A and B are shown apart, each in its own frame.
Chain A
């Protein structure tokens, strides 16, 4: 019996991963779950399918290579772990062993962005740039915990690799009630309709974008909020539509380096499609190693918190 949650409630994306994989494992005997010692999320799958749960210990490179070997033989491997290590230490295995032969391996992990207070070794802030550079890779970043389950389900029929980025995944805000939106890999979600400008974002900052839109609405500014949870392939049509419907005013907000992530992917579309924008503001992590602090504190400190988002909206609106 599905448990329903409504907007504003909190739920752990990790528990959704575990329960979804355990559910999918029932019908799919070729579903394997692998982890480099970050398996707490996967307890339900591990307990139900111990022979298809592989914890290699602290060995990200072998973990990804073993997943590729399984996929070569017709299996569907899901690798789960902390993204700073999977996306960088095992980058070449992801590129060479998975993307090159275009194998259906899913990489799903936590600690995307300045989350978790682990310090800069434990923040994945370059990961979307790295993953987006890889041929055949589909790249997603998800904020809504229920969406995680939906995307994992959809991914079972994908023929190539998939990257799913989460924040810490212990307490995530429910953004969309089930059935409210058509959620499809490759298509952005209009999380809030608006007419003056479009605020593009993904992952954990969608909630902040909605809060900023709510704040400026009181001042009469109408913001369309687009949850561009698939960064690659990017929803070009939605970008074109947003340019047309919101007067060529764009703000991009993301918990990733300000250059190399979603803002850069949108900028590519703008250049390739020769869009003439009125405003383009990008909010993200500057070229710093961020240090310690809670998520909101770090966003404020580094210039992409709620008040900075509101300021960027006002600047774009006034342009």
Chain B
């Protein structure tokens, strides 16, 4: 557990470093909220092999909240898929494989091209159906932002997944309760959020999305991929988690840090870790 917590800290540090060196916008708020989930997935939960990215029995991962691409790239780099230095050296530049939203054509290590919200779950349903048909036992896992579940296509896919009895499909929701320009419940009444998924017939798990133990337990308790009910793991998170001046702050949906602010952010991240480990 401590090891995963270290990796999540490393992921956040690297996110901040990239945000400090790249002058364009990094979706740092939603990256930080998803950092623990993506750490658990790539360093623990997903059956993937960075040396054999096309292995037929690998678990498939679809980043539906495509704007968290950097967080995924770095989580994958920590797992051994890419070199972090390549990401930070080329991010957002002409001909780079790494940019604001993931592109499979440019970066074959990712499963899907995403970025437009509400697309990931239908893609994952298709992949899960394909696996079922071939009698394969891997899982298809997707990470959604809670804001994007305002898209109707998500609920179309929620129904399709249950109707087709896709127990091999798992959706994680990064429930940070912030949209880009507002706090979600001020604009859109998502609550009672877990009940909405339950009403569509899914197996609903609720966890603290920053509690590594809880995330690991949720992964360990996932139903067998051969079962018939898809699972959603609703992760209660904080946008900007780990950097006090970014947490719950609408200004930090996306941005970049100058050198001075990078120091401040890294110090805040270190302080938050010290505080939590006390």
Chain A residues proximal to chain B, CB less than 8 Å? 32, 51-52, 54, 56-57, 59, 61-62, 64-75, 77, 92-93, 96-97, 100-102
- In the complex, identify which listed stretch (B74-82, B156-164, B260-268) lies at the interface while the others stay far away: B156-164
Kindly list chain A residues whose C-beta atoms are within 8 Å of the C-beta of B118.
61
Asked if residues B133 and A61 are in contact (CB atoms below 8 Å), the reply is: no
Which one, A52, A57, A61, A73, contacts B127 given CB within 8 A? Answer: A73
Asked if residues A69 and B129 are in contact (CB atoms below 8 Å), the reply is: yes
Asked if residues A59 and B123 are in contact (CB atoms below 8 Å), the reply is: no
> Looking across the interface, which residue of chain B has its beta carbon closest to that of A34?
B126
- The main secondary structure of chain A at its interface with chain B is helix
State whether A66 and B160 are in contact (beta carbons under 8 Å apart), knowing that A93-B153, A97-B122, A101-B104 are contacts in the complex.
yes
Asked if residues B122 and A93 are in contact (CB atoms below 8 Å), the reply is: yes
Asked if residues B130 and A73 are in contact (CB atoms below 8 Å), the reply is: yes
The CA of A68 and the CA of B105, in the complex, are separated in Å by: 14
Asked if residues B119 and A102 are in contact (CB atoms below 8 Å), the reply is: no
The answer to the question of B32 belonging to the interface, with a C-beta cut-off of 8 Å to chain A, is no
Asked if residues B133 and A65 are in contact (CB atoms below 8 Å), the reply is: no
State whether A68 and B123 are in contact (beta carbons under 8 Å apart), knowing that A54-B164, A73-B130 are contacts in the complex.
yes
Give a binary string over B103-129; 1 marks a CB under 8 Å from any A CB, 0 the rest: 111000001110110110111111111
Can you give 23 contacting A-B residue pairs, CB < 8 Å? Answer: A54-B160, A56-B156, A57-B163, A59-B156, A59-B159, A61-B153, A62-B159, A65-B119, A65-B122, A65-B126, A65-B153, A66-B126, A66-B129, A68-B123, A69-B123, A70-B126, A70-B130, A72-B111, A72-B123, A72-B126, A73-B126, A75-B133, A100-B105
Kindly list chain B residues whose C-beta atoms are within 8 Å of the C-beta of A97.
113, 119, 122-123
State which residues 83-120 of B face A: CB under 8 Å. Answer: 103-105, 111-113, 115-116, 118-119
The CA of A65 and the CA of B156, in the complex, are separated in Å by: 10
Kindly list chain B residues whose C-beta atoms are within 8 Å of the C-beta of A51.
133
The CA of A100 and the CA of B106, in the complex, are separated in Å by: 11
Kindly list chain A residues whose C-beta atoms are within 8 Å of the C-beta of B119.
65, 93, 96-97
Please give 6 more A-B residue pairs, beta carbons under 8 A apart, in addition to A69-B112, A101-B104.
Answer: A51-B133, A56-B160, A59-B156, A65-B119, A66-B160, A69-B122
> Looking across the interface, which residue of chain B has its beta carbon closest to that of A70?
B126
Kindly list chain A residues whose C-beta atoms are within 8 Å of the C-beta of B116.
92, 96
The answer to the question of B131 belonging to the interface, with a C-beta cut-off of 8 Å to chain A, is yes
Kindly list chain B residues whose C-beta atoms are within 8 Å of the C-beta of A52.
133
Kindly list chain A residues whose C-beta atoms are within 8 Å of the C-beta of B258.
none
Asked if residues A62 and B156 are in contact (CB atoms below 8 Å), the reply is: yes
Kindly list chain A residues whose C-beta atoms are within 8 Å of the C-beta of B129.
32, 54, 66, 69-70
Among the interface residues B60, B119, B131, B159, which one has the most CB atoms of the partner chain A within 10 A?
Answer: B119
The CA of A61 and the CA of B118, in the complex, are separated in Å by: 10
Asked if residues A65 and B157 are in contact (CB atoms below 8 Å), the reply is: yes
Asked if residues A69 and B125 are in contact (CB atoms below 8 Å), the reply is: yes
State which residues 172-225 of B face A: CB under 8 Å. Answer: none
Give a binary string over B23-66; 1 marks a CB under 8 Å from any A CB, 0 the rest: 00000000000000000000000000000000000001010000
The CA of A164 and the CA of B133, in the complex, are separated in Å by: 26
